């Protein structure tokens, strides 16, 4: 039995079956490349759902991680640590917000934002007790906690997990009129992904976010942007909200915040809003720990110093153009922005899975998103030559029978 089969069987036998991975077992990684246990090399076109925008095993992150691990990993929030202050200051400056509340995973940061905007609804907007409503979108993905899956529109995410938290209202994504019609006096916030990643890189029509942001201001509704996947350069901007010149009231980040070395997420807002949290209102044992904070500080510096945002814009435009030029009988459309592209297949193509399996055979790791979308989101450190390498293989596979 090959070592690959052996490890996969072990995982099947002893692991929970809550994923359906491609049959590849990765043992090491570097930049845009990963190596499997058989010695085969692949290009990673998923980048851990954009958590490794800075590239796998970035040497600067490795150094900071090991140095900091040898110095101090965790204090407790009962004391200060020397990394947290600088981390908050640097992340706040990068994001253009006044204050940072650090957490660990994306879902936790979304939960934190929900608490923050609800409290604002009661304490500032004057909504009656337990009446606050948050508007969310069809096709949303904000994580997997019970509260969050409770307002998903995906049956698979919800089935058998109820009862769910009330106070959420679903509207169609990209439909400004529907959003406007859903606002009531009890609406405290609109929680939205500026571009929906897990839904298959769904880009709303131009002007949507701008219109939504303007109405939010007018109606006293907080705009909460979940940029956990779209942020940190993925779209060719620091944050996807910039594509429409929008400044959300609350910004949620995660994933690439620490370049794949460590789970670091955060909620950002201006001081007046963030100060609605008082000591004891919220917390996390690991949130803001010195190890995560040190790595995240370096991960931010890398984005800036290696000009990864600019690279994403430039190579994204190039890749998108080339993909749109491929004459394939299976492709319905290619959409996206920056190095974040969804190849939408026609129903006749027989699903995206078989294309992802064929791409794997060609040395390219992609993952189908829902039934019919191949998502292309490589680490942002990818070079033009590497993009061309991927294009040759994508073209071959998209033209197969
Ligand atoms: C991945 C993701 C989350 C959840 O992050 P976790 O770290 O997996 O909890 C939330 N929102 C968006 C948009 C995401 O892509």
pLDDT at residue 367, rounded to an integer:
87
State pLDDT tens for residues 105-116. Answer: 999 999 999 999
Q: Are residues 297 and 335 in the same domain?
A: no
Cβ–ligand 1 contact at 232 (below 6 Å): no
User: What is the rounded distance in angstroms from the CA atom of residue 401 to the CA atom of residue 388?
Assistant: 22
Range of 227's domain? Answer: 59-305
CATH of the domain at 126: 3.40.640.10
Does 138 lie in the same domain as 31? no
Give the strand pairing for 133-137 and 168-171: parallel
Domain final residue, candidates 246, 281, 305: 305
- DSSP E strand stretches across 41-103: 41-44, 99-103
**Closest ligand 1 atom to Cα of 108:** 9
Q: CA 177 to CA 224: how far, in whole Å? A: 18
Domain end (from 283, 305, 327): 305
Instruction: Using CB atoms within 10 Å of the CB of residue 216, give its burial: 0 to 12 exposed, 13 to 18 middle, 19+ buried.
Output: buried
Ligand 1 atom closest to residue 148's alpha carbon, by position in its atom list: 10
Does 229 sit in the ligand 1 pocket, CB within 6 Å? yes
Report the CATH number at residue 47: 3.90.1150.10
pLDDT at position 132 is 98
Spacing, Cα 99 to ligand 1 middle (Å)? 21
Give CA–CA dist 178/162, Å, rounded. 26
One domain, residues 326 and 204: no
Same domain, yes or no, for 119 and 229?
A: yes
- Give, in order, the Cα–Cα distances in Å from 89 to each of 198, 247, 285, 287, 386: 30, 18, 21, 16, 35
Q: Is 389 found in the same domain as 356?
A: yes
Cβ of residue 197 lying under 6 Å from some atom of ligand 1? yes
Q: Distance between CA 33 and CA 28 in Å, rounded? A: 9
Any idea how long the chain is? 401
* 194 closest CA partner among 82, 337, 34: 337
Check whether residue 83 and residue 161 sit in a common domain: yes
Question: Is 255 a residue of the active site?
Answer: yes
For residue 204, give the DSSP letter: P
Query: Could you identify the atom of ligand 1 that is nearest to the CA of residue 196?
Result: 13
Total domains, the chain: 2
What spacing in Å lies between the alpha carbon of 103 and ligand 1's midpoint?
Answer: 13
To 10 degrees, what angle do helices 384-398 and 353-361 make? 120
CA of 135 to the centre of ligand 1 (A): 18
The verdict on the CB of residue 173 being under 6 Å from ligand 1 is: no
Q: What is the pLDDT of residues 6-56, one digit of tens each?
A: 999 999 999 999 999 999 999 999 999 999 999 999 999 999 999 999 999
Are 169 and 21 contained in the same domain? no
Query: What dihedral angle (degrees, nearest 10) is formed by the CA atoms of 193, 196, 202, 205?
Result: 0
| Same-domain check for residues 190 and 336 | no
Supply the pLDDT for residue 185. Answer: 98
Q: From CA 92, how far away is CA 11, in angstroms rounded?
A: 40
77 and 172 co-located in one domain: yes
Q: Distance (Å, rounded) from C-alpha 21 to C-alpha 39?
A: 19
Active-site entry in 87, 94, 141, 239 = 141
State which of 273, 305, 337 marks the end of a domain. Answer: 305
Q: Which of 141, 146, 147, 241 to mutate to test the pocket of ligand 1 (most atoms within 8 A of CB)?
A: 141
Q: Which residues of the chain have pLDDT under 70?
A: none
Estimate to the nearest angstrom the gap between the alpha carbon of 31 and the chain centroid.
Answer: 19
Q: Which atom of ligand 1 is nearest to the CA of 50?
A: 15
Beta-bridge partner residues of 171 = 137
Per annotation, catalytic residue among 226, 232, 238, 239? 226
Round to whole Å and give the CA distance between 218 and 230. 26
Is residue 226 part of the annotated active site? The answer reads yes
Asked if residue 227 has its Cβ within 6 Å of ligand 1, the reply is: no
Q: How many CB atoms lie within 10 A of CB 166?
A: 11
Q: How far is the CA of 107 from the centre of ligand 1 (A)?
A: 6
* d(CA 106, ligand 1 centre) in Å: 5
Quick one: 361 and 261 in the same domain? no
Q: In 240-335, where does DSSP find H-type helix? A: 271-274, 290-305, 308-325
Same domain, 232 and 321: no
Each as own residue / partner, the long-range contacts of residues 217-221 (CB below 8 Å, 24 or more positions apart, any chain) are 219/183, 219/187, 220/125, 221/135, 221/183, 221/187, 221/188, 221/189, 221/190
Q: Which of 269, 311, 262 is nearest to 114 (CA)?
A: 269
> From the candidates 151, 179, 232, 255, which is the catalytic residue?
255
| pLDDT for residue 1 | 86
To the query of whether residue 28 is one of the catalytic residues in this protein, the response is: no
The verdict on the CB of residue 142 being under 6 Å from ligand 1 is yes
**Residues 6+ positions from 300 with CB-CB distance below 8 Å:** 90, 91, 94, 257
| 211 lies in the same domain as 176 | yes
Residue identifier of the C-alpha nearest atom 10 of ligand 1: 142
Is 228 close to ligand 1, i.e. is its CB under 6 Å away? yes
């Amino acid at each position: 039995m090959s070592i690959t089969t052996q490890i996969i069987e072990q995982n099947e036998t002893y692991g929970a079956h809550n994923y359906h991975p491609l049959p590849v077992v990765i043992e090491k990684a570097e930049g845009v490349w990963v190596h499997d246990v058989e010695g085969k090399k692949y290009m990673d076109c998923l980048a851990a759902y954009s958590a490794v925008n800075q590239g796998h095993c970035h040497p600067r992150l490795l150094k900071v991680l090991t140095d900091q691990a040898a110095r101090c990993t965790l204090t407790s929030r009962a004391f200060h640590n020397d990394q947290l202050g600088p981390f908050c200051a640097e992340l706040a400056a990068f994001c253009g917000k006044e204050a940072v509340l650090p957490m660990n995973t994306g879902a936790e940061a979304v939960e934190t934002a929900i608490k923050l905007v609800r409290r604002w609804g009661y304490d500032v907007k004057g909504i009656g007790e337990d009446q606050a409503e948050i508007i969310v979108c069809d096709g949303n993905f904000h994580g997997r906690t019970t509260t969050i899956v409770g307002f998903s529109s995906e049956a698979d995410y919800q089935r058998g997990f109820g009862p769910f938290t009330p106070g959420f209202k679903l509207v169609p994504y990209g439909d400004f009129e529907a959003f406007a019609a859903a606002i009531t006096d009890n609406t405290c916030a609109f929680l939205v992904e500026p571009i929906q990643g897990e839904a298959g890189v769904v880009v709303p029509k131009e002007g949507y976010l701008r219109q939504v942001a303007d109405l939010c201001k007018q109606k006293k509704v907080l705009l909460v942007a979940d940029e956990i996947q779209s942020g940190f350069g993925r779209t060719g901007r620091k944050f996807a909200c910039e594509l429409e010149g929008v400044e959300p009231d609350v910004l949620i980040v995660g994933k690439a915040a620490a370049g794949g070395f460590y789970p670091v997420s955060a909620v950002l807002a201006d001081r007046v809003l963030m100060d609605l949290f008082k000591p004891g209102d919220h917390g996390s044992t690991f949130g803001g720990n010195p190890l995560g904070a040190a790595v995240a500080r370096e991960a931010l510096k890398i984005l800036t110093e290696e000009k990864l945002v600019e690279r994403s814009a430039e190579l994204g435009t190039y890749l998108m153009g080339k993909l749109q030029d491929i004459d394939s009988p299976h492709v319905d459309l290619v959409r996206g922005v920056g190095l974040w592209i969804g190849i939408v297949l026609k129903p006749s193509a027989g699903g995206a899975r078989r294309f992802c399996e064929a791409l794997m055979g060609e040395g390219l790791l992609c993952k189908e998103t829902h039934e019919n979308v191949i998502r292309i989101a490589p680490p942002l450190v990818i070079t033009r030559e590497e993009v061309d390498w991927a294009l040759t293989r994508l073209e071959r596979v998209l033209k197969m029978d």
